[in-house]
Structure formats: C-alpha cells, structure tokens
Amino acid sequence: MIFNLAVFLCTLTAMEGVGYLAHRYIMHGWGWFLHRSHHEPHLGALETNDVYLAALALIAFALVALGRAGHAPLQWVGAGVAAFGVIYVIVHDGIVHRHWPFKPRPRNRYLKRLYQAHLLHHALKGRDNSVSFGFLYAPPLHRLKRQLRERRKHQ
Ligand SMILES: [Zn+2]
Ligand SMILES: [Zn+2]
C-alpha cells in the first residue's frame, strides 16, 4: 500500500516536470497548431488544445490497463497521470481561465500565485517568448515578470 502510494505521488510530482517540458517544447514547438487555439480569444466550450487533454487521458487509461494486465505498479503510475489531469483541469480551466458556468476563485496564496503566473504565460501573443510553462508549480512572480520584460524587448 505504502509502495503504491509512493508510486502514485512520485508520478504526480514527475508529471509537473513532464507537463512543463511538453508545454514548452511540444505545445509551443511543433505542436503549436493544436495549442494555438488556447492562446487566442475563446469561442466555444471546447478548443483544439483539448486534444492534449484527451491524449493525457488515453495515456492514463493505457497505463492502468497495462497495470491490471499484470504489471501492477503501472496502475498507480496511470492513477498519478489521471490525478494530474484532473487537478490541471480544475486549476487551469476552472480557476485560471474560468471556462465553467460557475467560477471558482483562487482563494489561497498558492492558487493566487498559480493564477498570476499563468496569466503571465498568456501575456505575450504567439508561440515564442512566453514565460511560465508550469501548471501546478509557479516560480516567484517577480522572476517571471523580469523574464517577461526581457522577452518583450526582443519581440
Ligand atoms: Zn501555452
Ligand atoms: Zn492557459
């Protein structure tokens, strides 16, 4: 049980790193054609960017299925990936972008910092020069603002 919990928590933590790298180098790289919808004015309930979320769900599902087929710890890796997806949707879609009919507010310091940091991610238009690619961890805001100022100069 403790081992499974450790696998779950390690996966959840590692997913922030995976998410950061994917956002920075894939979604703002060759995968920009899908992510782009998220950096443009929002129209409907869904955006092409949601393909990434669907891919995440498929990966989680596949890992759990493999786990059940005999590679036991993979179930917990899958659960960690799924948990990251759920937390991401609540924080990013619900609290930051407020895509839902009811609008939860960022109440504590941690959520406020994530909220501000992600708004900074959306501060510059286009694929390049963005800052703050993380989802559930945000560096100090003054550092992000400094990066943003430097990148604006190069735009
Ligand atoms: Zn982005
Ligand atoms: Zn966003």
Binning the chain into helix, strand and coil, the percentages to the nearest 5 are: 70, 0, 30
CA 57, CA 86: separation in Å to the nearest integer?
A: 10
Ligand nearest the Cα of residue 35 is 1
What pLDDT, on the 0 to 100 scale, is given for residue 55?
Answer: 96
What pLDDT, on the 0 to 100 scale, is given for residue 98?
Answer: 84
Q: Please tell me the distance between residue 102's alpha carbon and the centre of ligand 1 in angstroms.
A: 24
pLDDT digits (tens, 9 = 90+) for 34-87: 999 999 887 667 789 999 999 999 999 999 999 989 888 899 999 999 999 999
Quote the DSSP letter at residue 142.
H
Q: Please tell me the distance between residue 38's alpha carbon and the centre of ligand 2 in angstroms.
A: 6
What pLDDT, on the 0 to 100 scale, is given for residue 46?
Answer: 79
For the whole prediction, is pTM greater than 0.75?
A: yes
Q: What is the mean pLDDT of the chain?
A: 91
Q: Please tell me the distance between residue 136's alpha carbon and the centre of ligand 1 in angstroms.
A: 14
CA 33, CA 1: separation in Å to the nearest integer?
A: 42
Report CA 60 to chain centroid distance, whole Å.
15
Long-range own/partner contacts, residues 87-92 (CB < 8 A, 24 or more apart)? 87/136, 88/19, 88/53, 88/135, 88/136, 89/53, 91/135, 91/136, 92/118, 92/135
Q: Extract the tokens encoding 103.
A: 């609008």
Q: Give the position of tokens 């990066």.
A: 147
Q: Give the position of tokens 């939860």.
A: 104
